[in-house]
Amino acid sequence: MSPDEKLFKDSVNEFLSKTLNPVWTNIDSEKRIPTEIINKMGEQGLFAIPVPEEYGGQGGNFLLASIAVEEVAYNDPAVATAVFTLLNNSWPFILYLYGNEETKQEILPLVGKGRGFFGIASTESIGGSDVAGERTSARKEGSLYVINGEKIYISGVRESLEQLDLGSWYLIARTGKPEDKHRGLTGFAFIGNKNGRKAENFEYSILNTIGRHAISTGLLRFNNTPIEQKYVIGEENKGFYLAMQGFSLARILVSAANIGAAKWALEQAVRFSRERRMFDDRPIASYQGVSFPIAEVAAKLESARLLVYKAAQLADKIYIKKEAGYRPHDLNYWASIAKIMAVETAFNSAEVAMKTYGAYSYTEEADLFRNMLGVLSYYVGAEGSQNIMRYIVARELIGREYVKA
């Protein structure tokens, strides 16, 4: 890191160590991120980091956003607040790039201040990985689009619709024919809540998840829900391509969250292996069966962090610095590799920590289960399953003509 990046990392960690770290287990148990914590994180400049200041962002880049998300996850290793943070850094940037001026000014400043939320609403019950096959429809009626359908496993539902001044998502809906697949999808900035006023003909519910409890996961239901033309992001029927850019950026930050959580779990394993003594009053770290798995996690974690930072720096070359010779498509490979390594390292780190603790890890007092269940959400599929990441890497490396979905 440069001196400025190191200073940023230290300042973020200092802030979070006082505001988030002391309460992370409580908010996981209570299943709610307090609104005041979201507000304070916004005041600290942890949201909309890559978005220019004139739109209410921080005027930073994706490497700084990755550093921030990593520190958030380290201080909340159940990763709930990290999920909130990464969404409010990746998808607002897509809105900044492709939204119209009025919509950007309506949404982005509130997100940057920690008073609003802008996430992603793409997953449907028919299959989250099949974005091109989505069925939620957007029918044009005069100056309005009318939305019908349902989205599931959507993050930030309660926070958006019950806690904050504004709750919104990048909503993907079909404006073309079903046979058009990815060529018939459009992206919308859907506002579900503004100052306590809910969208018309719109309902939601909260799912009961097994981990990262502090951030809600829910369903969004649309029954002839109107959206004005001004909320179209980019061009009609081009939403799939913009969403793919958003997913690559979000996956970098997902990876950053996982290395932050992995670092926490690794430190727990190291500390406990020193303190726990058995047999001839020897620390269990003296046994290779304990110390070698810890060493292997450390090696994987350092490797994963380098991949995350490399992907973030590439994103900055493409989107922030706009260097010649780079294009958004180039990010697919590195973002997917970073997610493969970071997510699986985080789960491995949680597993090693629990095995190091032994039976104590299976109690609520140890808090290790909160970490494992949090990173498990990404291990099993959030922001793209691990097998989809492998498919993308294979496709980019070997060639689309050889590797087909």
One DSSP character per residue, 301-355 reads HHHHHHHHHHHHHHHIIIIIS--TT--GGGHHHHHHHHHHHHHHHHHHHHHHHHH
Neighbouring C-beta atoms of residue 144, cutoff 10 Å: 15
Q: What is the DSSP string of 40-75?
A: HHHHTT-SSTTS-GGGTS-S--HHHHHHHHHHHHHH
Strand partners, 226: 146
Q: Closest by alpha carbon to 44, among 32, 54, 58, 33?
A: 58
**pLDDT at residue number 159:** 97
Residue that the structure tokens 């909130």 belong to: 84
What gap in Å lies between CA 336 and CA 308, rounded to an integer? 10
Q: How far is CA 49 from CA 63, 133, 383, in A?
A: 10, 32, 20
> For 64-113, how does the pLDDT look when each residue is reduced to its tens digit (9 = 90+)?
999 999 999 999 999 999 999 999 999 999 999 999 999 999 999 999 99
**pLDDT at residue number 85:** 98
* Architecture of the 3-115 domain: Orthogonal Bundle (1.10)
> For 1-17, how does the pLDDT look when each residue is reduced to its tens digit (9 = 90+)?
899 999 999 999 999 99
Strand partners, 282: 278
Chain centroid, CA 199 distance in Å? 25
Among residues of the chain, what percentage have pLDDT more than 70?
99
Rounded mean pLDDT of the chain?
96
**pLDDT at residue number 181:** 86
> For 100-109, how does the pLDDT look when each residue is reduced to its tens digit (9 = 90+)?
999 999 999 9
> For 175-194, how does the pLDDT look when each residue is reduced to its tens digit (9 = 90+)?
998 888 889 999 999 999 99
How many residues are given for the chain?
A: 405
Q: Would you place residue 405 in the very low, low, confident or very high pLDDT band (cuts 50, 70, 90)? A: low
Q: Does the structure show a pLDDT above 80 at 132?
A: no
**pLDDT at residue number 128:** 66
Residue that the structure tokens 């006023």 belong to: 197
The answer to whether the CB of 159 falls within 8 A of the CB of 167 is yes
Q: Would you place residue 127 in the very low, low, confident or very high pLDDT band (cuts 50, 70, 90)? A: low
**pLDDT at residue number 178:** 85
Q: Does domain 117-233 have CATH number 3.40.720.10?
A: no
Domain 3-115 and domain 239-398 have a common topology: no
> For 206-219, how does the pLDDT look when each residue is reduced to its tens digit (9 = 90+)?
999 999 999 999 99
Q: Where are the alpha helices (DSSP H) in 115-238?
A: 157-158
Q: Provide mean pLDDT across the span 137-151.
A: 95
Question: In a 3-state reduction of DSSP, which class is residue 89?
Answer: helix
pTM for the structure as a whole: 0.96
CATH superfamily, region 239-398: Butyryl-CoA Dehydrogenase, subunit A, domain 3 (1.20.140.10)
Domain ranges of the chain: 3-115, 117-233, 239-398
